[in-house]
Chain A
C-alpha cells in the first residue's frame, strides 16, 4: 500500500488539477456564451445570402460549371474545420473521422484543406497530403478568415483542380452535442450529397420565391459575384458554429474532468485515512504488546 506521504502528495496534485479544469471550464463557459451570441447575430446574413442565391439561381438559365457542375467528377476537394486546441472531448475526432469516411467515398486523391491545428497534425500523421492549411483563428474566427478559406475553395474549383467542393464541420446543436456534417459547397445545383438537414428548409419556402425580380444588370452577372460570396458565407457560418461547439465541448469535457478529479481525490483521501488508521492501530498494538511484555516479566 502507498505510504501516507505519497497519498498526500497525490491528493494535492489531483486537487490542483481539479482547480485547473474548473478554471478552464469557467473560461470556456464565458467564451461559449460569446460565441453563441455571435452565431445568432450572424444568422440573418447567411440566411439572406442563401435565399438570394436560390432566387437568382432559379431565374438564370446559365449553365456554368459553378452552378451545374462539370458532368464528370475526377477529383473533389474537402475542407475540414477543427479547432486549434484540444481538451474538448471528441469534438475534433468526430469531424476527422467523418472526413476520412468521405475521403473513402470520394476517392483518396481528394484535395484536403485543413482549418485548425488539430486537423493539420491529424492529416500529417495519417500521411494525407494537405493542399492548404489555415490555423490560428478557430477560437474567435473573423470574417477575413472565412474569406481566405472560401477563396481558396472557389479557386480550387475554378482552376479545375477539383470538380466538387465539400465542407466538413461540427454543426452546433447544444453545449452537449455537436454533430459532424458534410455540406456540399460547389457546384451549387445539387442532388444533395451532403448530410446537412438545412436543405429541408429550402424546399419549404420555394413556392414563395415566385416574385418576378428585375436583375440589374443581369442574373448571370450577379450570380458570378454571388457564388464566391456564398461559399465564403457558408464557411463563415461553419467557422462560427465550430467555435461555439468547440467552447461548448470544452466546457462539458472540463466539467466531467473536474468531477472525475474530485472523485479521485475523494477516493485517495479515503485510502489515506484508512492507511493512517491502520498505522495508528499498528502503533497502538505495538505499545500494548510492549507493555504486556514488560508486565509479564
Chain B
C-alpha cells in the first residue's frame, strides 16, 4: 500500500467477534451500493445489507463471510461491521440454510390476513428467508 498504513477489519456479532485482523481491502454492500474500503478511507457510517463481506488480505488471499443486515463504520483505518449473524463461507451449513428457506417459505404461505401483527411476522419471515438464501448462495460461490 502506498500509504504504508495498515487497514484492520472487525466483523462483530452479538455472540462474538467473528473476524479481527488485518486487511488490504474490505468489500461490503452498504446502503447505496457496493463499497471497497482500503487504508486511509474517510470516516463513514452506513448500514449493511444481507449479503457477503469480503476481506481481501495480502497476496489477494480472501476470506468471505455471509452476513445478515447490520451496521458499518470506518474510522481511523478500522472497518467495523456489526451484524446479527456472520458466518465464514467455509463454515456455512448449506443444508441448514436451505432448510431455513423452506421453513420460512412454508410459514409464509400459511400466513393470512394483513393486520399489524401478521405484517410484522411476515417481514420477519421474509428476512429469515433472505438470510438463508444468502447463506446458501455464499456457500455455493465461495465455500471451499
Binding site for B on A (CB under 8 A): 38, 41-42, 44-46, 48-49, 52, 55-56, 143, 146, 151, 211-217, 219, 221-222, 225-226, 229, 233, 236
Quick check: B14 and A215 within 8 Å, CB to CB? no
Q: How far is the CA of A52 from the CA of B120 in the complex (A)?
A: 26
Whether, in the assembled complex, B27 has its beta carbon less than 8 Å from a beta carbon of chain A, the answer is: no
Nearest B residue to A236 by beta-carbon distance? B14
A214 touching B80 in the complex, CB below 8 Å, given contacts A42-B14, A45-B13, A45-B14:
no
Nearest A residue to B42 by beta-carbon distance? A214
Per-position contact with A for B10-53: 1 when CB-CB < 8 Å, else 0? 10111111000000000000111000000000111111000000
Quick check: A143 and B42 within 8 Å, CB to CB? no
Whether, in the assembled complex, B122 has its beta carbon less than 8 Å from a beta carbon of chain A, the answer is: no
Can you give 12 contacting A-B residue pairs, CB < 8 Å? A44-B10, A44-B17, A52-B73, A52-B82, A143-B14, A146-B14, A211-B75, A211-B76, A216-B45, A217-B31, A222-B46, A233-B14
Q: Give the bracket for the number of chain B residues in contact with chain A.
A: 20 to 34
Give 10 nearest A-B pairs by CB, closest first.
Answer: A216-B46, A41-B16, A143-B14, A214-B44, A213-B43, A45-B12, A211-B43, A217-B31, A213-B45, A216-B31
Quick check: B15 and A41 within 8 Å, CB to CB? yes
Quick check: A222 and B84 within 8 Å, CB to CB? no
A38 touching B82 in the complex, CB below 8 Å, given contacts A213-B75, A222-B46:
no
In the complex, besides A146-B14, A216-B30, 6 extra interface pairs with C-beta distance below 8 angstroms are A42-B14, A52-B45, A52-B71, A211-B75, A216-B31, A216-B44
Complex interface: chain A residues within 8 A of B45 (CB): 52, 55-56, 213-216, 219, 222
Q: How far apart are A238's CB and chain B's nearest CB, in angstroms?
A: 12
Partner of B71, one of A143, A214, A226: A226
Nearest B residue to A212 by beta-carbon distance? B43
Q: How far is the CA of A57 from the CA of B125 in the complex (A)?
A: 30
Nearest B residue to A47 by beta-carbon distance? B12
Quick check: A229 and B44 within 8 Å, CB to CB? no
Partner of B15, one of A49, A143, A214, A215: A143
Q: How far is the CA of A211 from the CA of B73 in the complex (A)?
A: 12
* Chain B contact surface mostly: strand
Complex interface: chain A residues within 8 A of B32 (CB): 216-217
Q: How far apart are B116's CB and chain A's nearest CB, in angstroms?
A: 9
Binding site for A on B (CB under 8 A): 10, 12-17, 30-32, 42-47, 70-71, 73, 75-76, 80, 82, 84, 120
Complex interface: chain B residues within 8 A of A143 (CB): 14-15, 84
Q: How far apart are A161's CB and chain B's nearest CB, in angstroms?
A: 13
Quick check: A225 and B73 within 8 Å, CB to CB? no
Complex interface: chain B residues within 8 A of A45 (CB): 12-15, 82
Quick check: A225 and B47 within 8 Å, CB to CB? yes
Complex interface: chain B residues within 8 A of A216 (CB): 30-32, 44-46
Complex interface: chain A residues within 8 A of B17 (CB): 41, 44
Quick check: B12 and A48 within 8 Å, CB to CB? yes
Complex interface: chain B residues within 8 A of A41 (CB): 15-17
Complex interface: chain A residues within 8 A of B47 (CB): 221-222, 225
Nearest A residue to B30 by beta-carbon distance? A216
Complex interface: chain B residues within 8 A of A55 (CB): 45
Complex interface: chain A residues within 8 A of B30 (CB): 216
Q: How far apart are A19's CB and chain B's nearest CB, in angstroms?
A: 35
Complex interface: chain B residues within 8 A of A225 (CB): 47, 71
Partner of B44, one of A48, A213, A226, A236: A213
Complex interface: chain B residues within 8 A of A48 (CB): 12, 73, 80, 82
Complex interface: chain A residues within 8 A of B14 (CB): 42, 45-46, 143, 146, 233, 236
Complex interface: chain A residues within 8 A of B71 (CB): 49, 52, 222, 225-226, 229
Q: How far apart are A182's CB and chain B's nearest CB, in angstroms?
A: 23
Q: How far apart are B80's CB and chain A's nearest CB, in angstroms?
A: 6
Nearest A residue to B75 by beta-carbon distance? A211
Q: How far is the CA of A217 from the CA of B47 in the complex (A)?
A: 9
Quick check: B43 and A49 within 8 Å, CB to CB? no
Q: How far apart are B75's CB and chain A's nearest CB, in angstroms?
A: 6
